[in-house]
Each structure stands twice: as C-alpha cells, then as structure tokens.
C-alpha cells in the first residue's frame, strides 16, 4: 500500500513525542531527526526534505510550541500543514480553452501509464462535462501503442484519429486537429510516444507537436513507483516542454511517497490527478490536504465520501456521515455500507482511506478477499435485529451464538466486532471535524 512505511515512521515519531510528560528542546530535535529520516527513506528529494524540516522547525519555534499546552498535537498540526503546502495547498483544475477544442497533450516515459490515463481522463470528461473527446494516436514507434489506445477508446466509446505508423507524428496531429474541428469535438487528447528514458529526438518531436497545436494542457504522466527518478523525469520534461501539470499513476501500489511529495516542490508544477488502479474509473483529482492526511495516517474521508457519492445518492452519503457523527452507526448501516462498498473499488484501498486504518495493525495481516467479506456478512446476519441496532450489546454469550450461527470461529467474530467498534470510534472523531479529533488518532 502507498506510503505504508512513511506513515508508520511518521506516526511513531509523533507518538514518541506524545508520550513524553514534558517535551524539551532535545525531544523536538529528535522528532525532527526522525521526520527527516522517514522522508529520506521514502525517497523524497533531499533538498525538499531539508527545506521541509527547516520550515517545520521554524513554525514550531514561531508558535512557541514547547510553551503551549500540548506540544505533540501542535507538531502534528504543523507537519500536516507543511505537507499540504509542500504538495501545493489546493487542487488545481484542468485548464480549459475559451474555444473548443481544449487540447490536452499527454507525455511521459514508456510504461508510466500515459495511454491508460488518457482513457481515464476522457471518461472523466464525458461523465462530468458531458464532453465529446477525441484521441489522436501520435505514437508511431510501437504499432502496439495504437492498438492499445484503440482498445482503451473502445471501452469508453471515444473516437481515435490514427494514421498508422508510417506518417510523421506532427502531421498526424495536424490532420487530427482538423478532423476534431469538423466534428466539433470539445476535447482533443493527444497520446504521444514514450521512451524508456528521456532522449533528444523524442523531446524534439514533442516540442514540434507542442508548437503546432499550442496545447491548453501538457500533462506529464509519472509512475509514482519510480521515486527519485520520477522527479528527474519531471524536471527533464518540464525543461523542454514547460508542462502544465502532472498525473501521478500507480498510487494504488506500494510507492514510498517520494514522488508525490517532491514533484511540486522541485518543478513548481501541480499534480492534477492521481491514478489509483488499472480501471478506467480509477482517476482522482489530487487534493494536497487530503494527501497529507493520508500520508500521516489520518485517513482520507473526503475522497471516501466522494467515491461513495458517485455510487450512491447524496442523501444517503449525508445520512451515513450524520450517523458517524452522532455515533449511531450500527450493524445495519455497516451491512448496507458493505454492499455499497463493493461497488467502490478494491476493498483494501477503501478501508485504508479510513482514519487510522492505513497502518492499523489489526488490518495488516488480513487479506481482504471477497470471501472474507462474505464471512463478515454471515456474522452480521446472525445477529438479532436488536443486536444490529445496538452494537454495545455484544457480550461473550452473544458472541458465541454468532460464531455458531455464522459457522465462523469465535476469534473471527471477536475480531470483526473489535474492528467495527474501532471504526465507529474513529469515524466519530474525524467527522467531528477538528484537529483535536484527528490528533486523537495518534492516541492523544
């Protein structure tokens, strides 16, 4: 899972601080050292780390943290704020042209996820803007690239302009633009060639395409798993092309986090989207504040709720939020949520977006396969209506009955109940909405 090691180390550093009855200057220095090491280990650019730690230290000094009531909590807040700032503060929307078509040029190294992301983006534009995008296949070096784009396009029902592999890419783009104008496509997404590494010839070709169409958006697609290299790549492309934004892919993998945290600081260009899976739906807007929470293990409730809203109606999502807040979230809601959650994507990703869950030891060794889901369901279905409405009723004899009723071992029943209660507690803290709630996740 993304950021796992980093989240764990940052939490440990904060936790240690929190346990001290009194925080001294030396403790603070030690925490800063641990944060620095955690970031370096996560492959964050060393200069970015240096600046980051310096800023946190300055903020802490400025706020006179040591004299305040709860130094550990204040440090968490400062780190959270600085992480958010580092990644750009606000989500940056896609550029749009005043006149159609808006031209989006996708660039990046081979295998970064360019073609897949082009598809995801087109689907998003179709769904959200009722747009009519068109692709231009400008990668003429690998015949498979055109076939792949065609396959992606077929899935989401978007036309592709292509001229095979024997025509100059700049010429293909020129003709493609004419066709898009004739057909009144409101977006043109150009899928360009990639290489294993940056090379002069490719860059020249991309520059020529850029000069021809003057794109509204040059999106650099970067594989988050490549860490430091991602940053070098970003710099290389940006120097030549003056990119307008970055899409960070494969955040569903176990990336250490370096790319997400360094790219903005090093290139000054915003990450606009993140790819979180191979499916066409798996593209999310990049929100620096939410990413900071996620990195700190505080969960990403906003994204979770948005995913929920996409799949269910708003009223229901609001109701769930209210129940979480009022702590009346019961096993019936849990059951309903489980059914809905299966629609929202890979279960592990969803659960790990919940506050405190990213590194929850209870979750670590659980393989969340659909079968396990069915087991949890069976346990909940063995409850009486009264039990489902009153989660606190669960005493040992009831638990034994549930085990017998569901045919699951008692340890599994106990584990499920424990997790449910943990989840309920954390939901309440976070939906109460303030930092003090979140800091409680660190055990405060």
| Residue ranges of E strands in 109-166 | 133-138, 160-161
| Residues with Cβ within 8 Å of residue 69, at least 6 apart in sequence | none
Stretch in the footprint of ligand GDP (CB under 6 A) among 274-282, 317-325, 389-397, 418-426: 274-282
- Ligand-binding annotation for 299, yes or no, is no
Could you tell me which residues are beta bridge partners of residue 248? 222, 274
To the question of whether residue 220 is assigned a binding role by annotation, the answer is no
Taking the complex as a whole, the smallest distance from the CB of residue 116 to ligand GDP amounts, in Å, to 3
Question: Is residue 105 a contact partner of residue 193, using CB atoms and an 8 Å limit?
Answer: no
Query: Interface with ligand GDP by CB under 6 A: which range of 35-43, 111-119, 175-183, 294-302?
Result: 111-119
Kindly state the DSSP code that residue 110 receives in the 8-state scheme. Answer: T
CB distance 42 to 256 below 8 Å: yes
Is 192 labelled a binding residue?
yes
Cβ-closest position to ligand GDP = 275
How many H helices and E strands in the chain?
21, 8
Is 304 known to sit in a ligand binding site?
no
Cα distance between residue 231 and residue 265, in whole Å: 10
Residue 383 C-beta: closest distance to ligand GDP, Å: 37
The pair of three-digit structure tokens given for residue 213, joined into one six-digit string: 């169409």
Q: Site mask, ligand GDP, residues 138-167, x = CB under 6 A?
A: ----------x-------------------
Using CB under 6 A as the binding rule, whether residue 169 contacts ligand GDP is answered as: no
Among the listed ranges 19-27, 56-64, 249-257, 288-296, the one in contact with ligand GDP (CB under 6 A) is 249-257
Site membership for ligand GDP, residue 352 (CB under 6 A): no
Which tokens sit at 392? Answer: 């606190």
Q: Of 5-13, 108-116, 332-340, 356-364, which segment contacts ligand GDP by CB under 6 A?
A: 108-116
- Identified binder of ligand GDP from the candidate list 132, 250, 256, 352, rule CB under 6 A: 250
Residue 286 in contact with residue 248, Cβ under 8 Å?
yes
Determine if 349 is a binding residue for ligand GDP (CB under 6 A).
no
- Of the pair 116, 262, the CB lying nearest ligand GDP is at 116
Instruction: Establish if 249 lies at the interface with ligand GDP (CB under 6 A).
Output: yes
Radius of gyration of the chain (CA): 24
Q: Which residue has the tokens 């490549």?
A: 226
How many CB atoms are closer than 10 A to CB 381? Answer: 13
Residues 14 to 53 in contact with ligand GDP, rule: CB under 6 A: none
- What phi and psi, each to the nearest 5 degrees, are found at residue 370? -60, -25
State the residues that interact with ligand GDP by CB under 6 A: 108, 110-116, 148, 194, 221, 249-250, 252-253, 275-278, 282
């Amino acid at each position: 899972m993304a950021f796992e090691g980093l989240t764990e180390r940052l939490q440990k550093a904060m936790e240690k601080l929190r346990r001290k009855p009194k925080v001294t200057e030396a403790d603070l220095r030690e925490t800063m050292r641990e944060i620095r090491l955690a970031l370096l280990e996560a492959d964050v650019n060393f200069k970015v780390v240096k600046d980051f730690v310096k800023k946190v230290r300055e903020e802490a000094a400025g706020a006179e943290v040591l004299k305040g009531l709860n130094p550990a909590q204040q440090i968490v807040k400062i780190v959270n704020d600085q992480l958010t700032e580092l990644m750009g503060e606000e989500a940056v929307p896609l550029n749009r042209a005043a006149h159609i078509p808006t031209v989006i040029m996708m660039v990046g190294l081979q295998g970064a996820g360019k073609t897949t992301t082009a598809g995801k983006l087109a689907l998003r534009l179709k769904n959200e803007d009722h747009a009519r995008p068109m692709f231009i296949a400008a990668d003429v070096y690998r015949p498979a690239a055109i076939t792949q784009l065609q396959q992606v396009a077929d899935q989401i029902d978007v036309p592709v302009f292509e001229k095979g592999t024997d025509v100059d890419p700049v010429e293909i783009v020129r003709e493609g633009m004419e066709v898009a104008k004739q057909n009144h496509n409101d977006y043109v997404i150009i899928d360009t060639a990639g290489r294993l590494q940056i090379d002069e010839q490719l860059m020249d070709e991309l520059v020529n395409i850029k000069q021809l169409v003057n794109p509204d958006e040059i999106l650099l697609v970067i594989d988050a798993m490549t860490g430091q290299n991602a940053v070098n790549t970003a710099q290389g492309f940006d120097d030549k092309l003056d990119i307008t934004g970055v899409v960070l892919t494969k955040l569903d993998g176990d990336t250490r986090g370096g790319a997400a945290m360094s790219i903005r600081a090093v290139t000054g260009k915003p990450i606009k989207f993140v790819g979180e899976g191979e499916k066409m739906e798996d593209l999310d807007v990049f929100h620096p504040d939410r990413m900071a929470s996620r990195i700190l293990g505080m969960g990403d409730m906003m994204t979770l709720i948005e995913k929920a809203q996409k799949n269910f109606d708003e009223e229901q999502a609001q109701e769930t939020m209210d129940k979480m807040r009022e702590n009346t979230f019961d096993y019936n809601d849990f059951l309903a949520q489980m059914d809905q959650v299966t629609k929202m994507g890979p279960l592990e990703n969803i659960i790990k977006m919940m506050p405190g869950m990213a590194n929850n030891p209870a979750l670590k060794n659980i393989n969340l396969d659909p079968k396990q889901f069915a087991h949890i369901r069976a346990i909940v279905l063995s409850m009486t209506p009264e039990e489902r409405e009153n989660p606190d009723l669960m005493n040992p004899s009831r638990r034994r009955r549930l085990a017998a009723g569901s045919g699951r071992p008692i340890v599994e029943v106990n584990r499920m109940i424990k997790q449910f209660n943990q989840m309920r507690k954390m939901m309440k803290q976070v939906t109460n909405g303030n930092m003090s709630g979140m800091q409680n996740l660190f055990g405060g």
